[in-house]
Amino acid sequence: MAGRGLGCCCCSSSSTAATTAASSSSSAATLGAFNEDNARFLLLAGLILLYMLCGAAVFSALEQPSERQAQQKWQARLDNFSRRHNLTPAELRDFLCQYEVAYVAGIRANDLRPRWDFPGAFYFVSTVVSTIGHSCTHFIMRRLTK
């Protein structure tokens, strides 16, 4: 009778079974919530991707005709220029490619002022210091005051 009343065996085995059932049910709930979170994330990612695809389709449909028209106008200007100046289209394209390389290197056709004169360089430095330099100096000053 001692084993059945407040008994060690029955109560401990039933409480162990209850504890095991509760822990397995909580782990199943955790696993279920984990899957639900993953499903929500995948749904959100899918919706964002669909939104981006629709935006790209609309943007492409709106911009592509005007881009084609601008390319046709540019090609007509190039053809007209090569006829007037007795240049082959290959020579003109080569010249324009060289111009693009020079432009990227900083050489300008209209030299009103150099790109890196003192006011331009000062403006560049002040922009760097005011944007990038602020966080760096703030970090250094905080380190020095500690």
- The per-residue pLDDT for range 32-75, each reduced to its tens digit, is 567 888 999 999 999 999 999 999 999 999 999 999 999 999 99
pLDDT of 10 higher than 70: no
Backbone angles phi, psi at 91, to 5 degrees: -65, -40
* Per-residue model confidence (pLDDT) at position 75: 92
Q: Which helix (H) or strand (E) holds 42?
A: helix 8-84
50 vs 136, residue with greater confidence: 50
107, two tokens: 């050489």
Measured CA to CA, the distance from residue 26 to residue 145 in angstroms comes to: 49
* Per-residue model confidence (pLDDT) at position 3: 47
3, two tokens: 């084993």
* Per-residue model confidence (pLDDT) at position 130: 78
Direct distance between the N- and C-terminal alpha carbons of the chain, in angstroms, rounded to an integer:
71
111 vs 51, residue with greater confidence: 51
**pLDDT, averaged across the chain:** 78
What's the pTM? Answer: 0.43
- How far apart, in Å, are the Cα atoms of 65 and each of 60, 62, 72? 9, 7, 11
- Average of pLDDT values for 70-89? 92
- Average of pLDDT values for 71-94? 92
- How far apart, in Å, are the Cα atoms of 74 and each of 57, 80, 86, 104, 115? 25, 10, 18, 21, 28
77, two tokens: 């200007």
